[in-house]
Structure 1
Amino acid sequence: MTDRPDDETVAFGFRRVEESEKQDLVNEVFSRVASRYDQMNDLMSAGLHRLWKDDLVTILNPVRGSSSYSHLDVAGGTGDVAFRILRAGGPNLRVTVADISPEMVNEGRKRAQIEGLSEKCSFTVGNAEALAFADKTFDSYTIAFGIRNVTHINKALAEAYRVLRPGGRFLCLEFSHVDLPVLDSLYDAYSFTVIPAVGKVVTGDGQPYRYLVESIRTFPKQEQFKLMIEQAGFANVSFRNLTGGVVAIHSGWRV
């Protein structure tokens, strides 16, 4: 299959699949790993994902005063990012988590109850490409390790712009492209051998993790993704590489 503009297939890892198939395939991946998702993140990144998410929250700098503040975390699944934002923000901060996987949302709701955050954090099953929220609803928007799994990145970016209030901030934390010659070969070797093997041991199935690694390699490079964010209407778009480009945080503002 080709990658022509009129081709009706999209990338699912290294494979090309029909547009109508991709979301179901992605949903299947996350339904199979939901109960061990956070544990696998620790193992796959040697705990670095915690530092990356902390950096994301630091850049967001959620309001700490008494003003009401509404934040949307998309593809937030288990609530890992949402809970960090709530702990960093003020008493009137409210976070809504939208994730297309019911299994991931259920994990998040259970965690919110355990951590006593249910009153400040709501969970909903929702598609990043068609959010069920009114225009100009949220003060800020985050998506961490999720946008590479959507079928149409441009639609997800357009929705992010739509639901943000003027002056609202968009932040995306995502695996990206390593820009250090030695690190990139080591990272490839680790990704395609260790991660699927660890996934099989922990969850009993290494195939979902092979897809997740492949999806990283097919995601746009930092500058290309920056251009896509600008094309969605965001201003002052920038990005910051972390760990040599293993991940990047992209930022933009709704005008």
Structure 2
Amino acid sequence: MDILTMDISGLSYKIVKEKVDEINVNELHDSQELINIIDILKADKRKNINSLGDKLQRAKEKIENEIKRVRSMYDFDKSFEGLNIIAGVDEVGRGPLAGPIVSCAVVLDLNVVDEELILWINDSKKLNEKKREELAEVIKEKALAYHIASRDSKEIDSRGIGVCNNEVFLEACNSLEVKPDLVLSDGYTVKGIKIPNKSVIKGDTKSACIAAASIVAKVYRDNLMKEYSKKYPYYAFEENVGYGTSKHIEGLKEYGPTEIHRMSFLNNILER
């Protein structure tokens, strides 16, 4: 690396910063080279160069803490003795006024080295949109299997949200190309499932597979609602993904419901 082989004392801050910005801390966080670079930067007589060393140190610690956090999620999924293939299942869209309820089941390879962990996985609501989009692609690429299931607003109206919620869980789990030994579900057990099943409270923060399922399901549904917003432009679906925000309610009162609205959820709203 350039900083290791050159005397930076005669280089401007701008040039040193450019060299530091080229360093991939994700790949080098546990390397002696990175430690040496940090030491060189901190030993410089200029405070702004020292600050670059501090910045690298913080980035190194952030990655190391993230690896520990995500490793604990993988270890949670591996903690069920004698059960090697674990699926996580989660849903999104139980509460909106419009759009489908969506579930995803994911099977991850839990026997990976630190470099192969899917970092930053978490409850999808704790991640920003850009990070969710990036992670969803990584998850789908690395997963041993995943499946997305949904029920639309008409099915929700005719059979109830609880029934549809359980159905999308069942369909997602039963349609996996890799049959799991155990399904971990977020919050409550899946009724009628023939695969061993354990519910995990706040599972999307504890289980790697549930967190992955949460992210893929949310990205899929959010993108679907963005497409609906083009067809139905008066409800701000691109912002609220079907939830009852003020813009959504205003659109309902002025233009009435669309074919993707859940009429069983609108009784009190339309009567106001």
The answer, yes or no, to whether TM exceeds 0.5 is no
Query: TM-score, with normalisation over the residues of structure 2?
Result: 0.25
Structure number with bigger Rg: 2
Q: With CA pairs under 8 Å and 6+ residues apart, which has the higher RCO, 1 or 2?
A: 2
TM-score (norm 1): 0.26
Structure with the largest fraction of strand: 1
